[in-house]
Amino acid sequence: MVLKPSPRGRLRVLGAALGVLTLGLALAPASAATPPNNGPEELSAQTVAAPAGDVSKSENIEHVTNLPKQAPFNTLEAFGTDIAFKQDYAYVGNYDGFVVYDIKNPKKPQIVTQVLCPGGQGDVSVSGDLLFVSTDYPRTNNTCTSEKTDAKDPNGWEGMKVFDISDPAKPRYVSAIATDCGSHTHTLVPDKAGEAVYLYISSYGPRAEFPKCQPPHDKISIIKVPLDNPAEPVIVDAPVLFPDGGNPGTPDTSATTGCHDITAFPEKDLAAGACMGDGVLLDISDREQPRVINQVRDEENFAFWHPATFNNEGTKVVFTDELGGGSAATCNEATGPTRGANGVYDIVGSGADSKLEFRNYFKIPRHQADTENCVAHNGSLIPVDGRDIMVQAWYQGGVSVWDFTDSTKPEEIGFFDRSAFDPAKLQTAGSWSAYYYNGYIYSSGIQEGLDVLDIKDKRTDPAKKVRFEEFNPQTQPVYQN
- Structure confidence by residue, pLDDT tens digits, 320-338: 999 999 999 999 999 999 9
Residue 218 has pLDDT above 90, yes or no: yes
Residue 272 has pLDDT above 50, yes or no: yes
**Alpha-carbon gap, residue 411 to 361, rounded angstroms:** 10
User: What's the pLDDT score for residue 171?
Assistant: 98
Count Cβ neighbours within 10 Å for each residue of 339-359 and write b for 16 or more, e otherwise.
Answer: bbbbbbbebeeeeeebebeeb
Q: Confidence band (pLDDT; 50, 70, 90) for 50?
A: low
Q: What is the pLDDT of residues 162-210, one digit of tens each?
A: 999 999 999 999 999 999 999 999 999 999 999 999 999 999 999 999 9
CA 113 to chain centre: 21
User: What's the pLDDT score for residue 52?
Assistant: 60
Residue 17 has pLDDT above 50, yes or no: no
Which residue range is the domain that position 462 belongs to? 19-35+46-471
| Strand 449-455 versus strand 440-445 pairing type | antiparallel
Q: What is the pLDDT of residues 376-385, one digit of tens each?
A: 999 999 999 9
Query: What mean pLDDT do residues 38-43 have?
Result: 30
Query: What mean pLDDT do residues 95-106 have?
Result: 98
Closest to 217 in 3D by CA, of 226, 204, 208? 204
Percent of the chain clearing pLDDT 70 (strictly above): 89
In a domain, 461, yes or no: yes
In a domain, 138, yes or no: yes
Q: Which residues have a Cβ under 8 Å from the Cβ of 375 and sit 6 or more positions away?
A: 321, 322, 323, 324, 326, 328, 330, 331, 340, 394, 395, 397
Residue 27 has pLDDT above 70, yes or no: no
**Alpha-carbon gap, residue 262 to 475, rounded angstroms:** 9
User: What's the pLDDT score for residue 200?
Assistant: 98
User: What is the chain's mean pLDDT, rounded?
Assistant: 90
Query: What mean pLDDT do residues 342-351 have?
Result: 95
User: What's the pLDDT score for residue 30?
Assistant: 34
Query: What mean pLDDT do residues 301-330 have?
Result: 97
In a domain, 477, yes or no: no
Query: What mean pLDDT do residues 429-452 have?
Result: 98
Residue 41 has pLDDT above 90, yes or no: no
Q: Which residues have a Cβ under 8 Å from the Cβ of 66 and sit 6 or more positions away?
A: 50, 51, 448, 449, 450, 451, 452
User: Using alpha carbons only, what angle is made at residue 432 by residues 126 and 250, rounded to the nearest 5 degrees?
Assistant: 110
In a domain, 268, yes or no: yes
Query: What mean pLDDT do residues 46-72 have?
Result: 87
In a domain, 207, yes or no: yes
User: What's the pLDDT score for residue 398?
Assistant: 98
Q: Which residues have a Cβ under 8 Å from the Cβ of 188 and sit 6 or more positions away?
A: 125, 126, 127, 132, 197, 198, 199, 264, 472, 474, 475
Count of domains observed in the chain: 1
Q: What is the pLDDT of residues 274-283, one digit of tens each?
A: 999 999 999 9
In a domain, 481, yes or no: no
Q: Confidence band (pLDDT; 50, 70, 90) for 430?
A: very high
User: What's the pLDDT score for residue 480?
Assistant: 87
The CATH number for 275's domain is 2.130.10.10
User: What's the pLDDT score for residue 352?
Assistant: 84
User: What's the pLDDT score for residue 49?
Assistant: 59
Residue 34 has pLDDT above 90, yes or no: no
Closest to 362 in 3D by CA, of 314, 401, 312? 401
Dihedral over alpha carbons 28, 31, 32, 36 (to 10 degrees): 180
- As a residue count, the chain comes to 481
Q: Which residues have a Cβ under 8 Å from the Cβ of 362 and sit 6 or more positions away?
A: 318, 341, 342, 344, 402, 404, 410, 411, 412
User: What's the pLDDT score for residue 351?
Assistant: 84
Q: Confidence band (pLDDT; 50, 70, 90) for 401?
A: very high
Q: What is the pLDDT of residues 105-115, one digit of tens each?
A: 999 999 999 99
Query: What mean pLDDT do residues 39-45 have?
Result: 35
In a domain, 157, yes or no: yes
Query: What mean pLDDT do residues 294-311 have?
Result: 97
User: What's the pLDDT score for residue 279?
Assistant: 98
In a domain, 276, yes or no: yes
